């Protein structure tokens, strides 16, 4: 069966190179059930659909590839390029932001995002938050393989080192475990904790964001990303991350406490706004309050707060 699949892929690619897109699509679709197609084949199928003028089918193939294996950089990029070619800027930005989580130092990717209006670090923080917050679609979930025996051994050694507060050693063991199981969000979270303990905050932020990419909707990952952003001095971005965490779990008190603390700091930097808010708060009943789009937010942060409008922000 595997040999037959390899031959069919080779035939489909040969047809694609000859620009015989319709026949290539037919062959790709005979390789096996769609759910069993590997991600690279899905990307190639997306190319064939695109070139054959079947935009909806192309989009679904690209999205499925990008969502099923979040750490495949090419899948994120190809989805972004597809949407950019159709002038679908917000969708393109979303997938390029996902790619940026995987390769934050890619100058060409930063240039693309700048051309699409994401010019500042605050802008990029905002789009990364929204891009990792929800699955690409409700019917596409990341595939998270079980830990192998080797990865479990490395994890055990990492935990032992962590209990001894040997954070550098623990970090290396988690990196070794991730070399075996690179898509595991739990390992990435623990790696981020080890990096935080060593003061490697920027590295920890990358780890937390990669973990969020692999498991959208987990409130703790956004809380820890918020901690890293706060330590890096990016307070507005940290506030948005904490708010994401609170949106996902309204009873998670650490996020709610950080929201109140950061709001107090940011309001104190705007005395006139603070006086206005204090007068407004006097007439608000002592009940749970909801986030509004605050005038001190940057444009990129306003986008985040529009999404969260109506969610629980803080408790009295």
- The pLDDT tens digits for 1-42 are 677 788 989 999 999 999 999 999 999 999 888 877 888 999
Q: Quick check: 303 pLDDT over 80?
A: no
Q: Quick check: 315 pLDDT over 50?
A: no
Residues 6+ apart with CB under 8 A from 164: none
Q: Cα(79)–Cα(39) distance, rounded to whole angstroms?
A: 12
What is the rounded average pLDDT of the residues 280-286?
Answer: 35
Query: What confidence tier does 297 reach under pLDDT thresholds 50, 70, 90?
Result: very low
Give the pLDDT confidence score for residue 277 in this predicted structure.
Answer: 41
> 57-61, 68-72, 119-123, 229-233: lowest mean pLDDT where?
68-72
More confident residue, 263 or 104: 263
Q: Which of 242, 244, 255, 234 is nearest to 307 (CA)?
A: 244
Give the pLDDT confidence score for residue 270 in this predicted structure.
Answer: 61
Transcribe 131-172 into DSSP letters: HHHS-SBTTB----PPPPHHHHHHHHHHHHHHHTT-HHHHHH
> 175-189, 205-219, 289-303: lowest mean pLDDT where?
289-303
Whether the Cβ atoms of residue 133 and residue 244 lie closer than 8 Å to each other = yes
Give the pLDDT confidence score for residue 280 in this predicted structure.
Answer: 35
- The pLDDT tens digits for 196-240 are 999 999 999 999 999 999 888 899 999 999 999 999 999 999 999
Q: Cα(152)–Cα(256) distance, rounded to whole angstroms?
A: 34
Q: Cα(191)–Cα(207) distance, rounded to whole angstroms?
A: 7
């Amino acid at each position: 069966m595997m040999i037959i699949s390899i031959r069919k892929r080779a035939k489909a690619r040969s047809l694609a190179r000859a620009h015989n897109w319709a026949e290539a699509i037919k062959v790709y679709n005979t390789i096996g059930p769609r759910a069993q197609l590997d991600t690279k084949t899905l990307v190639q199928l997306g190319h064939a659909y695109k070139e054959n003028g079947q935009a909806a089918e192309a989009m679904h193939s690209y999205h499925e590839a990008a969502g099923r294996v979040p750490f495949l950089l090419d899948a994120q990029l190809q989805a972004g390029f597809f949407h950019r070619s159709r002038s679908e800027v917000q969708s393109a930005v979303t997938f390029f932001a996902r790619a940026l989580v995987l390769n934050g130092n890619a100058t060409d990717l930063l240039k693309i995002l700048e051309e699409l209006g994401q010019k500042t670090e605050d802008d990029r923080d905002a789009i990364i938050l929204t891009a990792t917050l929800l699955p690409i679609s409700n019917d596409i979930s990341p595939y998270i393989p079980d830990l192998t025996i080797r990865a479990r051994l490395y994890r055990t050694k990492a935990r032992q080192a962590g209990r001894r507060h040997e954070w550098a050693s623990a970090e290396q063991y988690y990196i070794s475990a991730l070399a075996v199981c690179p898509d595991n969000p739990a390992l990435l979270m623990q790696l981020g904790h080890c990096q935080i303990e060593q003061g490697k905050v920027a590295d920890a932020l990358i780890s937390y964001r990669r973990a969020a990419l692999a498991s959208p909707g987990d409130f703790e990952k956004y809380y820890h990303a918020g901690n890293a952003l706060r330590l890096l001095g990016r307070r507005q971005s940290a506030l948005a991350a904490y708010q994401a965490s609170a949106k996902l779990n309204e009873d998670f008190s650490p996020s709610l406490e950080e929201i109140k603390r950061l709001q107090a700091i940011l309001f104190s930097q705007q005395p006139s706004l603070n006086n206005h808010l204090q007068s407004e708060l006097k007439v608000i009943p002592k009940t749970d309050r909801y986030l509004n789009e605050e005038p001190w937010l940057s444009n990129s942060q306003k986008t985040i707060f529009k999404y969260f409008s109506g969610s629980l922000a803080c408790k009295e």
